[in-house]
Structure 1
Amino acid sequence: MHGGGGVTARPAAPTLEAVAREANVSRATVSRVVNGSPKVRPDVVTAVNAAIAKLNYVPNRAARSLASRTTQAIALVVPEDTTRFFGDPYFAAIVQGITRRLDESEYLLNLLISTNDPARKTMRYLRSGVVDGALVVSHHEGDDSLWEAVGAVPMVFGGRPSRETDSEIYVDVDNVEGGMTGTEHLIAINRQRIGTITGPLDMPAGIDRLEGFRQAMERAGRPSDAVETADFTVAGAVAATRRLLTQVPDLDGLFVASDLMATGALSVLRERGRRVPEDVAVVGFDDSPAATSSAIPLTTVHQPSADMGFAMADLLLRVLAGDTTVPRRNIMPTRLVRRASA
C-alpha cells in the first residue's frame, strides 16, 4: 500500500485462463462457451458460466475480434421497404425467433432493410468484414446484388432461395403443400367457385402457394383460373380482391396467400355486402396475429414463423462454430387452423 495519498493499484481483470482454471476446463472450452457454440455439453456450459459469474469475467469483444478476425455480429437482411417490414406480423415473428436464439450466444443482430437494393450498399456491407454471417428473409428474384454477396459471409435463408443451388442453407415450409391444404379445405366445405389472391410471383413463396392452389383445384376437377396477384400487403390485396370479384362475380371461396392480405380481402367483401363465411369462405396463410385480430377470425394455414427464425439463427451459429454437418434444406410443417371465416 502506498502512503501519503497514493493510488491503490486496481486488480487485474480476470482472464479467459482464470475462468478455465476455476471451471476446470480448457481455455478453448471457455472460448466456445463464450462464443455460443452448440458443441459444449450443458453441464460444462453451466460450470463455465458459474466461473464467469464468480470471477466477474467480461469478454473483451474488441480484442477477441482482432485475434480471431470475427465481429460477433450477424446481419438480418430484408430486401423490402420499411412499411412492409414493420407492417407485416410475419417479420415480427421471424425476428422474435432469431433473437430468442441469439440471446443464448454472444452475437448481436444488425438489421439491414433495403428496397430493390440501392443496397449494393448491402453487398458492400456484407463483404466489408463487419459481420460474421447473414440471415436473409423475403428475397426476390431480382435481388441481384444480394446474390453477388453470397459467399462473402456464411448465409442462411428464410424461405427457399429463388436461385437454389447445392450450397444455400435455408429454412422453409412446404408452401405447395400449404397452398393445397388451404384450397382443399374450401373444396371440402363444398365451395363451388374458388379463387386465390397470390403473393408476389417473383418470390418462391408466392409461386409455390399458387402452385398448391392449382394442384388442389385440378385434382378436384375444378377450374383454377380465378387468380389475382398481389404483393403481401393489405393495399395490394384490396385491389386484387376487387379485380377478382369483377372477374368472378359468383366467387364463394377464397384462398389468400397471407393473413395480412386476407384482412384486406375481408374489407372488400364487407364493402360489397358479401357475408363471410356464408357467401364467401376465406382461408389465409401464416396463422399470424392478423388471423385472430381481424373482424372475422381467419381459418388459416399455420406456419411456425418464430420457430423458423430460431432455426435460421441456430443453423448459422452452427456454421460459424465450424459445424460441417448442417443440413442444407430444412422444411418445417404446416397445418390448417379452423376459425370462423371458413
Structure 2
Amino acid sequence: MATAPVGGERAAATLDDVARQAGVSRATVSRALSGHSAVRPETRRIVQAAARQIGYVLNQTARSLATRHAGAVGVLIPEPDERVFTDPFFSRIFRGAMSAFAGTDTHVLLGITNSSTPGWGPSGQNPMDLLGSGRLDGAVIVSHHEAATSALAEVAAQPVPVVFVGDPQVPGAPFVDLRNREAARIATRRLIEGGRTRLAMVCGPADMHAARERRAGFLEELAAHGLEPVAQVVGDFTMQTGRRATADFLAGRPGIDGIFAASDLTAWGALQALSEAGLQVPEDVALVGFDDSPVAEAVTPALTTMTNPAETLARTAATMLRDLIDGRAPAHRQVLVSSDLVVRRSA
C-alpha cells in the first residue's frame, strides 16, 4: 500500500504499490496498464482492479514519453459533421472501433476531418496534421471519396499505422470492406424474383468506391436476367436524395415496379415519395434498402434490406490497427465481409 507521510497527506500510489496489491511483478503491472497485448485478460483485470482499489492514476504524459506511444487512436471521418451525426452508420462504426480497444489503456477519439464538403480538400482538415502531431498512435479512416485519393495515398504512406474501412483504392493499403457488388446483386435478385421487371436505383455518390460497386452489381444482375434499368439517379446516402429521386422517377417514368436504394436512409426517402404519390409498398412498388440500420425496422412497411455490419467492419479494422501499433503483422491486410439479405415487408 502507499504510505502516508508526516502531515497526514497520503502519498500517490505507485506501480510498486499496484504490484503488491495485485500479487504480480512491477513489469506485469506496467504492461497491463499500458494495454500490452501479451498480458492475459484475467491478469489485466486483476491489475486494473488493484489500481482502482489503491487509487493509482496512470500518468499519461510519463507513459507517452517512456513508451513513445500517445495512448490514443483516431476514428477519422472525412464527411460533413451534420451527416456524421445523423447517419446511424457512423455511430455503429465508432462502437465497433471502441470495442477492439476495450480493456486496454488506449483512448479512441472521433475526428471529423471535414465539416463542409466530403473528402479531404481545401475546406477540410489535413489528416497528416493529426497523424504527424504525435497525438495519435494510429487511425481508422472511414467513408473516403475519390477526390481524396492522393491524400489517402499520402496518409497510407505515413509511419503512423492507418487502416481503412472501405477500399481506398490505394495499392497495398490495409482495409476492411463489404462485398458491395455481390450484395447489390442479391438485393436486385430479390426484386426480380418477386416478379418486378421495371427497376430503378437510387445510387450513392459517384466518387465513392462502395457506391460504384453497388451500382455495378445492380446493373450486372439486371443484365443476367435480360433486363435494363428503367432509371438511375446518382446522389448520396441521405433521405433527401431518396425522396427527390423517387419523385423524379414517378414523374418521368411511370410503371416502375421496383426500386433498389443504396442505403436505408435513401429507401426511407423513397417510401415517403411513394406514399405521397398514392402508391403502396410492396403492392405497387417493391423496395429494397441497404444497411439494415434501425431505420429499416422503424419505417412502415419495414424495409427488406442488405446487412452492412458496420460494427464488425470497424472492429476488424481496429484489431488490425492494434496489431500494427504493437509491431505485429495482421493475419490479413485486406479483408472482405459478406452481406446478408434481411426480408421484411417492403419486398
Match of 1:3 in 2: none
TM-score (normalizing by structure 1): 0.90
AA aligned to 1:125 is L
**Hey, what's the Cα distance between the residues in 2 that align with 1:23 and 1:203?**
51
Match of 1:298 in 2: 303
User: Matched residue of 1:191: which SS?
Assistant: coil
> Does structure 2 retain, via aligned residues, the 8 Å contact 1:228–1:243?
no
Match of 2:14 in 1: 15
- Residue by residue over 1:195-245, the C-alpha shift from the partner in whole angstroms, topping out at 9 and shown as x without a partner, is 211111211110111111112111112114532111111122222223333
Match of 2:293 in 1: 288
- The match for 2:166 among 159, 170, 173 is 159
**Hey, what's the Cα distance between the residues in 2 that align with 1:46 and 1:111?**
26
CA RMSD, Structure 1 to Structure 2 (Å): 2.2
**Hey, what's the Cα distance between the residues in 1 that align with 2:183 and 2:100?**
26
Shift of 1:107: 1.8
**Which runs of 5 or more structure 2 residues have no equivalent in the other structure?**
none
Shift of 1:46: 3.4
Question: Are 2:214 and 1:209 aligned?
Answer: yes
Q: 1:245 to 1:39 in 2, by over 3 A?
A: farther
AA aligned to 1:204 is H
Question: Are 2:226 and 1:221 aligned?
Answer: yes
- Equivalent positions of 1:63-78 (< 5 A) are 63-78=62-77
- Residue by residue over 1:219-277, the C-alpha shift from the partner in whole angstroms, topping out at 9 and shown as x without a partner, is 11211453211111112222222333344321101111100000011111112222110
Q: 1:203 to 1:340 in 2, by over 3 A?
A: same
Shift of 1:169: 1.8
- The match for 2:237 among 232, 244, 252 is 232
> Does structure 2 retain, via aligned residues, the 8 Å contact 1:218–1:224?
no
Match of 1:149 in 2: 155
Shift of 1:334: 1.2
Question: Are 2:182 and 1:177 aligned?
Answer: yes
User: Matched residue of 2:103: which SS?
Assistant: coil
Q: 1:184 to 1:133 in 2, by over 3 A?
A: same
> Does structure 2 retain, via aligned residues, the 8 Å contact 1:135–1:156?
yes
> Does structure 1 retain, via aligned residues, the 8 Å contact 2:152–2:170?
no
> Does structure 2 retain, via aligned residues, the 8 Å contact 1:123–1:146?
no
> Does structure 2 retain, via aligned residues, the 8 Å contact 1:127–1:149?
no
- Equivalent positions of 1:1-342 (< 5 A) are 8=7, 10-20=9-19, 22-23=21-22, 25-113=24-112, 114=114, 115=117, 116-117=119-120, 118-143=123-148, 144-152=150-158, 153-161=160-168, 163-166=169-172, 168-224=173-229, 226-342=231-347
AA aligned to 2:309 is P
Shift of 1:185: 0.5
> Does structure 2 retain, via aligned residues, the 8 Å contact 1:94–1:308?
yes
Bigger shift: residues 179-188 or 25-34: 25-34
Shift of 1:128: 1.5
**Hey, what's the Cα distance between the residues in 2 that align with 1:211 and 1:37?**
43
> Does structure 2 retain, via aligned residues, the 8 Å contact 1:300–1:337?
yes
> Does structure 1 retain, via aligned residues, the 8 Å contact 2:155–2:162?
no
User: Matched residue of 1:331: which SS?
Assistant: strand
> Does structure 1 retain, via aligned residues, the 8 Å contact 2:33–2:44?
no
> Does structure 2 retain, via aligned residues, the 8 Å contact 1:196–1:226?
yes
User: Matched residue of 1:202: which SS?
Assistant: coil
